[in-house]
Structure 1
Amino acid sequence: MKKIEMSDILNIYEYEKVREQKRKEIIELKKNRRVFVGDMVHLVFENRETVWFQIQEMIRAERMVKDEEIKQEIDVYNELIPDKNELSITMFVEIPDEQERKKLLPQLVGIHDHLWFHIGNKYSVRAIADEKSKKDYQYGKAAVVHFLKLPLTPEQVEAFINSPVKIEINHPNYKAIVDMPEEVKRELIKDLESD
């Protein structure tokens, strides 16, 4: 999937003109790119559009106007765009109550290492977390946001397209398994078929 370049980014003034429309488009797009796995974790599958929107929102929020700042933001967020035969996932651990969150996050250290995709009856593939997620172990509590990639072989991509897919979290303190909804799978197939 093509990475974001400086030429793709709108300046703050131009972005304000289209922001409301783009926000609606992304909300609609993410409806079919989101999966809840149990009652505390939800996954968002990132693509070029979702990443572009995040970059634009960061530029807007931080009032960035310098090219080097914008370029740095692009470089950071480009990591979320999946490569060929890969899915990109943002995992959110959602515990609204602060006291509950303080209690549970230490029990969920390493949750990012327990996300599996079962493709048909043939493949079980573990998602791979980025380096920042591994700081969970250092800090003794799970982060509330994790970034992961699901690298697939060409055979696994073919199976993904043609077979049911289940998503499982099998952390010792958090277990859940769900069928990937068909509408989500259709969106992700588009990602896997793009270059």
Structure 2
Amino acid sequence: MRKITRDEILNIYEYEKIRPQKVQEVIQLKKNRRVFIEPWVHLVFENRETVWFQIQEMIRAERMVKEEEIQQEIDVYNDLIPDKNELSVTMFIEIPEASERKRLLPQLVGIHDHLYFHIGNKHTIRAVADERSREDYEYGKAAVVHFLKVKFTEDQVEDFKREPVRVEVNHPNYRAITLIPEEVKQELIKDLISD
């Protein structure tokens, strides 16, 4: 999938004019790019559109106008755009109550190393977290956001198209599995075959 370039990014003023429309578009887009692994894990599958939106939102929130700051945001977020035969996942740990969150996050250290995709009964592929997730181990508690990639072979992509796909968290303190809904799977197939 093609990376975002500087000329695709709008200045704050221009973005503000189209933001309401873009917010609605991304809300609709993400409806078929989310999977919940109950009770607390929520996955969002990233693509060019979700990443473009995140870059624009960060520039808006931070009021960025310096070229080097804008380029740095583009570079950071471009890492989230999947390559061919790859999915890019943002994993959120959503524990609503603050006291529960404080109690449970230390028990979930390393959860990012326990996300698996099962394609039919043929393949099991582990997602790989980026380096930022390693901070879990240093700080003694799980971060609430993790960025992961899932790399597939050509054969696995072909089977992904045909077989049911389940996503699992298999952490000692969090075990749950769910079937990826068909409408989400169809979106993910587009990611996998996109150059």
Residue 84 of structure 1 aligns with which residue?
A: 84
Residue 144 of structure 2 aligns with which residue?
A: 144
> Could you tell me the TM-score, scaled by structure 2's length?
0.99
Kindly provide the CA deviation profile for residues 20-43 of structure 1, in whole angstroms up to 9, marking residues without a partner as x.
Answer: 000000000000000000110000
Residue 127 of structure 2 aligns with which residue?
A: 127
Q: For the aligned residues, what is the CA RMSD?
A: 0.5
Residue 17 of structure 1 aligns with which residue?
A: 17
Kindly provide the CA deviation profile for residues 8-55 of structure 1, in whole angstroms up to 9, marking residues without a partner as x.
Answer: 100111101100000000000000000000110000000000000000
Cα distance in 2 for partners of 1:3, 1:82 equals 9
Residue 46 of structure 2 aligns with which residue?
A: 46
Residue 57 of structure 1 aligns with which residue?
A: 57
1:156 matched to 2:161: no
1:193 matched to 2:193: yes
Structure 1 unaligned regions, length at least 5: none
Cα distance in 2 for partners of 1:96, 1:180 equals 24
Give 1:120 shift.
1.1
Give 1:135 shift.
1.0
Structure 1 counterpart SS, 2:186: helix
Kindly provide the CA deviation profile for residues 79-113 of structure 1, in whole angstroms up to 9, marking residues without a partner as x.
Answer: 10001110000000001111101100000000000
Structure 2 counterpart SS, 1:113: helix
Runs (4+) off by over 2 Å? none
Give 1:162 shift.
1.0
Cα distance in 2 for partners of 1:99, 1:22 equals 35
* Percent of aligned positions that are identical: 74
Give 1:75 shift.
0.3
Q: Is the 2:83–2:194 Cα contact (8 Å) retained in structure 1?
A: no
> Could you tell me the TM-score, scaled by structure 1's length?
0.99
Number of residue-to-residue matches in the alignment: 195
Residue 71 of structure 2 aligns with which residue?
A: 71
Cα distance in 2 for partners of 1:110, 1:38 equals 18
